[in-house]
Amino acid sequence: MNESFRVAQKLGLMFRPSEPLPKDIKAWALSQLQAPSPALGKASKYASIEPWPDALQPDLSKRAQMWRLFRENRKKARARKDGQDTEAAKKTNERNNLMRKKDELKFAHRNVYGDDQLKLRFTTFWANHFTIGNTFDTSSMIGHAIDEAILANLNGDFANMLYLMTTHPGMLRYLDNIWSAGEKSKKVKNCRKRPNCQAGLNDNLGRELLELHTLSPAAGYTETDIRNAARVLAGWGMDFEASNQEMREDANTTNHWQAFKPYYAEPGTKKVFGKTIYAGKNGLKQLTDHLAENDYTIKHIATKLCQHFVSDQPHQADIDYVAQAWRQSNGQLDQIHAAVIERAIDSKEAKFIWPMTWLFQVIRISDATFFKGWNDIYNYDNNLMSTEKIFAELGQSFWSSRQPDGYSSDRQDWLSAEMLERRIRFADAIYNAGSTKQKASEIMDRLGVNEATRSLVASAGKSRRHQFIALMCSPELMGLSHV
């Protein structure tokens, strides 16, 4: 594979046939860190690329309002006794007030049509690092977290992104922190006086904050550290279903991203991994800043970045280079990402490509149209699957119900016969339904693929369809080999 596509495969999403290849691929890659990130897509399958409509990108306040309306409509439908709770009414309520399908399609459109492909790849990395698995309640929050807590802050510092993701209502809801109350909080004390009242500390988010998002178990923190982190987090978050009046009464705000309930908070100082954290709302920022600057956090995430972008088994020199850039920049993400880019370009080792990323790359290099337009989200199309089904069939979606440790970057977790068979089926579907006019031979020439790939494609016979499938599912295009 030529140098332009080798780098774009490792770090980006590949170039469409109409895109000129950069003369200086390293300079281009580094410039991508400052590229604008508008949400681009298509209104329908055959439409031109244009900005996503604002009406399909509501802010958090509007999302909460829509969610409450959804729940209200559903309760009314259940209460009716006249048989009016029809399937059509359910679908209308979901279409108008739930955001999952719109957010998932916008995410796909961005990755297929966006010009900021490296920023989108880093966004995907961080969205996986700060996993918010889909539950019924988080379906309308995940897209907002990806856009506003991650993509919008890629040129900020890690400490700020950590705080924003920790306090995002999607994270607080996913890990059940919205019900967590300190053992000595007023909520728990009053609850003990009433029969059948239950309240207490939930350490889910405190545990994941230390184990996955920052230090890692290598730091040797204790269960006491986890419990104290949970005590710092106690009181953070409210259900989307809470009305503005309830928000004001309990958290003195109508902003779900700043919802802290003093009634649930644990009084007094807490000590987490050697740091004394003061009581109150500001204690969480004190904690996340402390964790963000710790060297265990730096080494843990530098390793993850290198395994995701540089090589399947990164050398210690790669990890040390990224970690040093982190320390020297005090956690500035654009400097950290620049270091990752440099090591990925310098490393000539292959890097296995996630199924999700592979799908976007195949669509871009073949100039296919495989995702519906935003006007067609709810329309049946015999050729194009819904975005939700595409990711479900692929086996990878940020809107799935999954574990907090996210998707693995280890190739061995993806190299089963079943996962390869899924890629073959998708390559076939993209060729049949994607309206691509690119021949396998034309794509191979533009990419500059190796002789092994050319031989594999030749062995598929004269069928253009079979050649396309063989090329897209070749070891080279899956990031399993370069030479």
Name residues of the chain where pLDDT drops below 70.
81-85, 482-483
pLDDT at 79: 80
User: What is the spatial distance between Cα 236 and Cα 351, in angstroms, rounded to a whole number?
Assistant: 39
Tens digits of residue pLDDT in 301-316: 999 999 999 999 999 9
Q: Which of these, 212, 208, 60, 61, lies nearest to 145 by C-alpha position?
A: 60
pLDDT at 117: 98
Cβ atoms < 10 Å from Cβ of 269: 13
Q: In DSSP terms, which residues pair with 277 in a beta bridge? A: 270
Residue 40's SS3 state is: strand
pLDDT at 83: 54
**Helix, strand, coil share of the chain (percent; to 5):** 55, 5, 40
Question: Is the alpha carbon torsion for 172, 175, 178, 184 positive or negative?
Answer: negative
What are the helix (H) ranges across 168-222?
A: 169-174, 186-191, 204-208
In angstroms, what CA-CA distances link 293 with 51, 162, 188, 273?
37, 11, 33, 12
pLDDT at 474: 98
pLDDT at 383: 83
Question: Is the alpha carbon torsion for 123, 124, 130, 132 positive or negative?
Answer: positive
Which amino acid would we find at residue 112? V
pLDDT at 3: 97
> What is the distance, to the nearest Å, from the Cα of residue 376 to the centroid of all Cα atoms in its chain?
24
Structure tokens at 461: 């016979």
CB 336 within 8 A of CB 322: yes
CB-neighbour burial class of residue 43 (10 A; exposed 0-12, middle 13-18, buried 19+): middle
Domain ranges in the chain are 61-96, 157-348, 355-472
Residue 269's SS3 state is: coil
Q: What is the helix (H) or strand (E) element at residue 272, kind and residue range?
A: strand 270-272
Angle at CA 410, nearest 5°, toward 116 and 128? 45
In angstroms, what CA-CA distances link 269 with 19, 49, 262, 263, 281?
56, 53, 14, 16, 12
CB-neighbour burial class of residue 308 (10 A; exposed 0-12, middle 13-18, buried 19+): buried
pLDDT at 482: 67
CB 376 within 8 A of CB 386: no
Residue reference for tokens 């977290």: 145
The residues near 420 (Cβ < 8 Å, ≥ 6 apart) are 473
Residue reference for tokens 């400490």: 159
